[in-house]
Amino acid sequence: MTSPATSSVNRRLRFAKGHGTQNDFVLLDDRAGALDLTPALVRALADRRAGIGGDGVIRVVPTASVPEGAAILAADPGAIWFMDYSNSDGSVAEMCGNGVRVFAAYLERLGLAEVPEGSGHADAALAIGTRAGVRYVRREKNGWYSVDMGPWRLTGGKDAAIAGTDAEVAVAGLEIARPALRVEVGNPHVVLALADVDELEAVDLTRAPDVRPVPLHGINVELVVPLGEELDDDGAVVGRVRMRVHERGSGETRSCGTGACAAALAVRTWAGAGAPDAWLVEVPGGTVRVRLLPSGHVELAGPAELVAEGEIDPGALGLDIQIKA
């Protein structure tokens, strides 16, 4: 029996579909904070054959209505909208770097916020609440969105930085396990370097890599090939990296924003003193830019595209939607 606090309604659900470098998401407008976004609903929406399809589901919800809201609003009262993100398997994630950009574009589409244009930490920015804390989004002149992703750290600290490794990863298609470096960017990552692009393309990411030590809550695995350095349009030195990723809860995806940050930070650590602060990270879905900020934070910049809007009948998915009264 449905509780008095909710009503079970087989209503049509409005959605949008968006992606950031082909890391794609189903987006839901729940500005009233009334939708019970269950793991079953997430899995049904993200199903690429029977649902809409996506690497994850993102819900727009008032920050004040979620358990994390009090801490987020204490940190920044301007973060009135919360990015409620779930992986395609229904598991809840701390945040998603590509998803934050798409979330910001969706807020603009809904008329709930405007993303200021700017390129520096002192510039005005749109504050967004996430489970990893407040994230700040700006629009660049080329139409990209840049996100201050907050502080980062090597999981193993200074010892890992000196050794260049604090983990071991076995990947299908590689004969032996490889040393790797763990990086925290609001969520957990482990990065391993491969010899060349041919080796990168040959690995099999249909199966989850085996990571040691075993992560308690899962981990994202990035495989990278450093491609050297070059000059950007302003004459500054930037590094370039190619990457593939296996995301916890989603499998291999075409892109991962926090993974791109982790990949760039790991390669920069391995490169040592004098390495560039800015990196272009090539993923199967395109290219993003990662930059180490003077504050010690890391910034991610890239495109965000909204490609469709519509409605879906949850009854056709075999589900009822729980709506708070």
CATH number, domain of 27, equals 3.10.310.10
pLDDT, average across residues 146-170: 97
pTM above threshold 0.85: yes
> In this structure, are 143 and 157 located in the same domain?
no
- pLDDT for residue 234: 86
Q: Could you tell me the residue range of the domain that residue 290 belongs to?
A: 153-294
Q: pLDDT (tens digit, 9 = 90+) per residue, 267-278? A: 999 999 999 999
Q: pLDDT (tens digit, 9 = 90+) per residue, 40-61? A: 999 999 999 999 999 999 999 9
- pLDDT for residue 322: 66
Q: How far is 3 from 191, CA to CA, in rounded Å?
A: 46
DSSP 215: P
- pLDDT for residue 10: 52
Q: pLDDT (tens digit, 9 = 90+) per residue, 6-24? A: 444 457 889 999 999 999 9
Tell whether 209 is covered by a domain: yes
List C-alpha distances in Å: 48 to 7, 63, 220.
28, 29, 21
> In this structure, are 10 and 133 located in the same domain?
yes
- Tell me the catalytic residues: 96, 256
> In this structure, are 176 and 135 located in the same domain?
no
> In this structure, are 144 and 170 located in the same domain?
no
- Give the DSSP H/E element, type plus range, for residue 305: strand 305-312
Q: How far is 50 from 318, CA to CA, in rounded Å?
A: 11
Domains in the chain, number: 2
> In this structure, are 243 and 288 located in the same domain?
yes
pLDDT, average across residues 73-90: 97
Tell whether 299 is covered by a domain: no
Q: How far is 182 from 155, CA to CA, in rounded Å?
A: 5
- pLDDT for residue 314: 82
Asked if residue 257 has pLDDT above 90, the reply is yes
Tell whether 225 is covered by a domain: yes
pLDDT, average across residues 143-158: 97
- Residue 318: pLDDT band (50, 70, 90) is confident
Is the distance from CB of 13 to CB of 34 less than 8 angstroms? Answer: no
Tell whether 301 is covered by a domain: no
Asked if residue 156 has pLDDT above 50, the reply is yes
How many residues belong to the chain? Answer: 325
- Residue 324: pLDDT band (50, 70, 90) is low
- Residue 5: pLDDT band (50, 70, 90) is very low
Residue 138 β-bridge partners:
146
- pLDDT for residue 27: 98
Is the distance from CB of 251 to CB of 205 less than 8 angstroms? Answer: yes
> In this structure, are 131 and 231 located in the same domain?
no
